[in-house]
Amino acid sequence: MPVSRRGFLTAGAAAAAALGPAAVPARAVGPKRPFGRFGSPAARLTPATLYVHPGGAGDVTTVRDAVAAADGPGHTLVIAPGTYRQTVAVDPARTGMTWIGASENARDVVIVYDNAAGTPRPGGGTLGTTGSATATVQADDFTARWITFANDWLRADHPGVTGTQAVALKVQGDRSAFHHCRFLGHQDTLYADSMALGTVARQYFAHCYAEGDVDFVFGRATAVFEHCHFRTLTRHDLPGAPYGFVFAPSTAGTTPFGHLVTRSRVSSEAPDGFYKLARPWVPSSDRTARPMLTVRDTRLGPGIDAAAPYADMSSAHPWQSMRFAEYRNTGPGAAVPVPENRPRLTSDQARAHTRQVWLGDWRPV
């Protein structure tokens, strides 16, 4: 039976292993070495390294306090295994920050909260989509390794709330890299965005795992997803298809590149054909947006509706007028029963749809 998002987070690494991607072998992290091979407060990697431990064995006990203490650029946070229930924000001044999950297994370090767009805001109104984020990263040159970002807000717990967007991570900085991270939620899980309309933010996600149901990877960033796993969830609140959409890019019309998915896979716990691959998001703040998505060399499982993998978010902005394309995908969800519904690149065109071209002079490591 499906496990609720809150139950999944509290089930522990052993139970969670059956629901997520294969675990990266973890380094030994125990009571005597809670920070693994990354030093300790008594033996810092660098003077700008801070150690987070929920039981008090580090410099601070919360990620939020560590960010506050990391005043200025170039800090590294080494985070011991634990579930950190809090919201966290990295402002633009804290450039060059790195977060490291000390066990080198993302299941062990979980940053989670349960706000939604419809959650009441103190003083009136609601939080909105951006305000729902568990973690918000606005600084440039941010890197995270082996971290889980989660939002465990559940529709079933809040039947009267209509603003069901619940962001696990909103990242807006340029040259932002995520390696072996997980992004868990339902609607609007991973918000790959930029700081402002007309500002290009390049982001790189490698060997990551993201799951959700409605538009769970979205935004206007130039974002490259390489060797990633996207998983669509089942839903008990809808009588039939479609349950949702994997991608919802909102690329500005003047931005040359949007979201690129390469050498990845899309799987599903929902019935076959119950998900669309993508729909374009043309936000009210940018009616000239031309969302862009390329999915290439990727396995699309049977959960994707092969006959009609794309849908409109608004009839005023049909997906056919956007920049959607595929190349050399495999799997049942990549079948082409209706050719006009599967825009495909030629081999010559595909040469411009690579990590190197999309990220320009930035080479993430």
Task: List the catalytic residues.
Answer: 188, 215
The total number of residues shown for the chain amounts to 365
CA distance 286 to 288: 5
CA distance 96 to 17: 32
Nearest to residue 43, comparing CAs of 58, 29, 62?
A: 58
Bridge partners, residue 52, by sequence = 60, 79
Please tell me whether residue 132 adopts helix, strand or coil conformation: coil
Q: For residue 309, what are its two tokens?
A: 């993998």
69 phi, psi to nearest 5 deg: -75, -20
Count CB neighbours of 52 within 10 A: 28
Nearest to residue 181, comparing CAs of 212, 152, 204?
A: 204
Q: Which amino acid is at 100?
A: I
Bridge partners, residue 219, by sequence = 249
Count CB neighbours of 27 within 10 A: 14
